[in-house]
Structure 1
């Protein structure tokens, strides 16, 4: 089922209050893992709450499979969601928590046992949730999201608290769900993990849409990729390469012989240097990371900017 946000807006305090989500429109299609990214305070959790009918939009609407979440006759079997892993009665066991949810939709006990096993919680199924670690709580929340075997899965920061094995598990699980044709929307602050898990990205900042694109295209278009060039004739090479479409800088911390070139690939740089008889000691393409592309895209949307250098009296 397709997720659609149509001009979603959420404002607190009336017309003069704070706008948390601002005219947000995007689509999440089945068959792919879509990463939902943004700095702290960007409006991701509020948007997810509106998608699930937990917050009422000030304007716009959200649909899942063409209808509002609250109008689905058996929502647990249509949409599985994890927004807050700790939203569980601490005195219940994992088994009883999932069983209580299952009974609301006529889901059999065999499905409860299946998702406990899927989440690696079978051995602690009879343990009270108040004794669970953060990672175990995340696993239980994901098990609950999958309980109704839904076609759509919405997860907010699902890898929080998971150990490396757990992170690998959730990455493999999300890809498997998408390969089955399900719709998967997942938020995360871990760019390295999103680069390995998601194919499509919706990026927001200060409640507004910044990008709705593939991971590959976002990284390629970010301008974060460059070619590292080391030559004793750096000034001459720079003069040869400088055009309106090529950006060249001498990075801090590198030797004076080092240039970072954007807008021209390594073979072309090599040919230009060779034609002028300039020696090259290094000519290395450096691929941009999703993290750097994300940082560049959201730089002006970060709510709180940290200092880039330690201030006086603070150890580096």
Structure 2
């Protein structure tokens, strides 16, 4: 389990993390999301004892990282996959890490096979592609068979097969009862991998909820209705706090009423419905909506699209 208690980190006058509290529980893949500059990397560094908080406390499996006698067995982390001596081979990099904790060499070989690096295990890391470096970083994180795993952007540089592999790996780790915290900018991938989300902006907590609740919160109570009596139903649904918008023939978008209430009104008036669907925002749409005021770095709209559809400045 990972616990952040009122974590605050200041760099001079700038507050990178501001009184942040959350808990990451075992058995679930938890996505750690936020716009650029939100404080995600700083928070993960404090969880791992790499940065000291200005105030507050970070606890992993009941202790601060520095208090663990054999941290690789407790917490496996990948914050920067390429932070490896480029002259070493993948095998000797993992072997050196294993030696610090008395981990047998057979575990090194197991991890090399797990991440699919057997063919290049004896080659120098300096010649690795970004995706190969990511795989090596994940192998290092799992080397000590830790109860808690913290990964920052693990799918960077991976091809579609690699992305599917890491998705299934993370789910399998959670299914074994491990605590899994994953930071990513790929909303589509987080929607397929994570069950729970911790979202921050400008160093503060925005949401600590399930993926389903997060997307529902952004979508509100929008309901899509299709019927061959659209105009009649539109009149039946009208009210001071209800908005009904006609789409293509026979389709209405309704806000201000639940799908259950709409169904009852239609049934009570003899209006047959062909479709009654509560709308759900995608994770990307929900993220954009709920972090809109927390975006620190945002290009002016005029710079985003220029002549020919290409981004260019005036």
Structure 2 counterpart of 1:117 = 113
Question: After the TM superposition, which parts of structure 1 deviate over 2 Å for at least 4 consecutive aligned residues?
Answer: 220-250, 254-260, 262-288, 304-316
What's the secondary structure of 2:291's corresponding residue? helix
Structure-2 separation of matches of 1:306 and 1:260: 32
What's the secondary structure of 1:145's corresponding residue? helix
What's the secondary structure of 1:222's corresponding residue? helix
Superposed CA offset, 1:214-241 (max 9, x none): 1122122223563334689877755543
Farther-moved stretch of structure 1 (238-247 vs 156-165): 238-247
| TM-score of the aligned structures, taking structure 2 as reference length | 0.88
Counting matched residue pairs gives 309
What's the secondary structure of 1:25's corresponding residue? strand
Structure 1 counterpart of 2:291 = 298
Change (3 A) 1:147 1:312: closer
Unaligned segments of structure 1, at least 5 residues: none
Deviation of 1:35 (Å): 0.9
Structure 1 counterpart of 2:133 = 137
Structure 2 counterpart of 1:18 = 14
Deviation of 1:73 (Å): 0.5
Structure 1 counterpart of 2:178 = 182
What's the secondary structure of 2:57's corresponding residue? strand
Structure-2 separation of matches of 1:130 and 1:312: 39
Superposed CA offset, 1:149-177 (max 9, x none): 11110001101111111111111111111
| C-alpha contact 2:221 2:258 (8 A) present in aligned 1 | no
Structure-2 separation of matches of 1:111 and 1:271: 61
Structure-1 separation of matches of 2:85 and 2:220: 46
Structure-2 separation of matches of 1:294 and 1:99: 40
Deviation of 1:53 (Å): 0.4
Change (3 A) 1:298 1:249: farther
Q: Which of 148, 156, 161 is the aligned partner of 1:160?
A: 156
Change (3 A) 1:104 1:266: same
For the pair 1:8 / 2:7, whether they are aligned, the reply is yes
| C-alpha contact 2:219 2:279 (8 A) present in aligned 1 | no
Change (3 A) 1:234 1:157: same
Deviation of 1:304 (Å): 2.7
Superposed CA offset, 1:68-122 (max 9, x none): 1011101111110000011001111100111111111111110000000000111
Structure-1 separation of matches of 2:240 and 2:19: 35
Unaligned segments of structure 2, at least 5 residues: none
| C-alpha contact 1:21 1:207 (8 A) present in aligned 2 | yes
What's the secondary structure of 2:219's corresponding residue? coil
Deviation of 1:10 (Å): 0.6
Q: Which of 200, 207, 228 is the aligned partner of 2:196?
A: 200
What's the secondary structure of 1:212's corresponding residue? strand
What's the secondary structure of 1:4's corresponding residue? strand
| C-alpha contact 2:242 2:254 (8 A) present in aligned 1 | yes
Farther-moved stretch of structure 1 (162-171 vs 230-239): 230-239
Structure 2 counterpart of 1:75 = 71
Structure-2 separation of matches of 1:144 and 1:312: 44
For the pair 1:260 / 2:259, whether they are aligned, the reply is no
Structure-2 separation of matches of 1:198 and 1:247: 33
| C-alpha contact 1:88 1:129 (8 A) present in aligned 2 | yes
What's the secondary structure of 1:23's corresponding residue? strand
| TM-score of the aligned structures, taking structure 1 as reference length | 0.87
For the pair 1:315 / 2:309, whether they are aligned, the reply is yes
| C-alpha contact 1:223 1:262 (8 A) present in aligned 2 | no
Structure-2 separation of matches of 1:235 and 1:288: 26
